[in-house]
Amino acid sequence: MGVYNTVYAMRRERVHKNGRSMSFGDRLLCGTVAGMAGAIVGNPSEVVLVRMTSDNRLPIEKRRNYKNALQALFRITKEEGILAWFKGLNSTILRCVVQNAFQLGSYSQIKMVLLESGMKDDLFIVPGISSFGAGFIASFMSLPFDIVKTRLQTMKPGQYKNTIDCASKLLSKEGIRGFWKGFVPYYLRVGPHTVVTFIVLEQLNHLYLKYLTNPNKQLEFKKLFLLY
């Protein structure tokens, strides 16, 4: 979110200098940059997450039996080298780029359309509708990349050569529908997360604008924060 807002502000300033307003393509571009940053930083925890959640599906003799996430990172480093933290990075970047580009970009675009149609800029209805739509679009667009990423991170040695090889084998064995297998549970994870995230973000932005932009109200904001 922080990277997106920063890049968005920079892009908007440049676009306005050229005498035009932000387009949906501009918003997708900002989301792409944010997605790449998030993918690189988050890939080690993605590897741990995928391995720990899929461990019970492996034969007993092949299970890794990580005790917790920190121990998993330590064992991966010791047994496979620190580069193993970035297994499937290319597919993680693709998934995050697609998901964040459409999640963040769609949210901004839908919200702008709703406000231009005359809806009141409140803290719940407009963000709720915008985030619901953004969650669906992001889920649909990113699930194929998530499936490929997961299979790469849990593959047996030599099972797939790279992202393209994994995707082509998935297509040949399971058809085009294989890329959207498990869409409903995937959306039930991404959708509510998107809605809650953006509604909370709008609330935080509101509190920031109300209190922190006015030096005389900073003490009041601190009292409010301590109350919670």
- pLDDT band at residue 228 using 50, 70 and 90 as cut-offs: very low
CB atoms within 10 A of CB 17: 8
Q: Which domains does the chain have, with CATH numbers?
A: 2-193 (1.50.40.10)
Which pLDDT tens digit goes with each residue over 118-154? 888 777 888 899 999 999 998 999 899 888 888 887 7
Which pLDDT tens digit goes with each residue over 62-93? 888 899 999 999 998 998 898 888 887 887 88
CB atoms within 10 A of CB 46: 23
Q: How far is CA 193 from CA 105, 130, 185, in A?
A: 16, 13, 12
Q: What is the value of pTM for the model shown?
A: 0.68
Burial of 180 (0-12, 13-18, 19+ CB in 10 A): middle
